[in-house]
Homo-oligomer: A and B are copies of this chain.
Amino acid sequence: MLNFDFYNPTHILFGKGRIADLNKVVPLDAKVLILYGGGSIKKNGVFDEVKLALGERQVSEFGGIEPNPTYETLLATIELVNTNKIDFLLAVGGGSVIDSTKFVAAAALFEGGEPWAILEKRGNNISKALPFGTILTLPATGSEMNSGAVVTRRSINAKMSFNSRHCFPQFSILDPSKTFTLPIRQIGNGAVDAFIHVIEQYLTYPVNSPVQDRFAEGILKTLIEEGPKALVNPEDYDVRANLMWCATMALNGVISTGVPQDWATHMIGHELTALHGLDHAQTLAIILPSMLRIRKDAKREKLLQYAERVWDLRDGNDDIRIDAAIKHTQNFFEQMGVKTHLSDYALNAECIPAILSALEAHRMVSLGERRDVTMDISRQVLELSL
């Protein structure tokens, strides 16, 4: 096992009816800004429930945060926060809204010049942030219980991430029943996103970490069981609860303790979203199967463990079992409604040079758990993903 630090102070309030507990966890004298996305929370009653729970507190709102939130939009939010002397942010939405809130929380108090510097330094220059909480309506990214975020700068087609100890939500409210009305596409994306978060921390090389491995396998098996049920029975509370808790546990630091991490699929995927606007989960579903095929030797031992423990594959030689496990993985993404080839999104080989140039521009030239995913390997992965 590798040495590690684990720190995660976010208070999770999970279950039916928990939005009412906002009253206990938001300071009574707070000047609250509610951040949200496309406005579904105004139609499904969540916004009203939040306002009711906040009672007499002074509340303003900022809506319209887009999927893959842009730096350009968030600059306007930061201005609003500072002008109105907001002292508590409340994200109501999915990963995009929560990531935005983290950025705004840090940028509002940032003293290092233009806030883009936060992304350039990956958050290492954050020394404080406004307190914030979240109400999760879309299980997927795990942002509700970690300190990382991703922001896109449209003007330069850059999708960049940052992380800071100061950017943990103080609390996150997870009510699975608030996900009943989500579009099927978002449920499919969410399950695939959570699945690949686990894979990035699990399918690397063995370091003798049996507990972490079994936790990772436990989340993967649960996503495989519960994901398809969530598509056909949108109001099955337990299914949605299990999906939601899987997505949170997939990226709250528990399963990454003491193990190597990959994230090459994510880095290539971010460029695909920045350049072509694909959903985050779509990019991962395209890249991961090819990444595993190309890097089969580097990941051989863990792939064999994955084949046996997650997919119960015990017949045939090593290569047959590994190939079958990757095929099963790809089929699961398709079953969840997420297509797995570039061509499914009207992209062909012509898009590859620009993606590689973007990776180079963002210094993503040696990726993966051993930093040996060179530009040439990224190119092979993209070619195999056509």
Contact = CB atoms under 8 A, between A and B. Distances in A.
Q: How many copies of this chain sit in the oligomeric assembly?
A: 2
A258 interface: yes
Interface in A41-68: none
Contacts of A2: 15
Nearest to A15: B3
Contacts of A7: 9-12
A10 B8 CA distance: 8
Interface residues of A, number: 42
Interface stretch (A76-84, A128-136, A211-219, A330-338): A211-219
A257 B1 CA distance: 26
A285 B2 CA distance: 32
A5 interface: yes
A6 B1 contact: no
Interface string A194-231: 00000000000000111111110111011001100000
A9 B6 contact: no
Contact of A210 (B4, B5, B242): B242
A254 B218 CA distance: 13
A215 B11 CA distance: 20
A208 B176 CA distance: 14
A241 B1 contact: yes
Interface string A3-44: 111111111111111100000000000000000000000000
B11 A4 contact: no
Given A210-B218, A214-B219, 5 more contacts: A1-B242, A3-B15, A7-B9, A8-B8, A210-B222
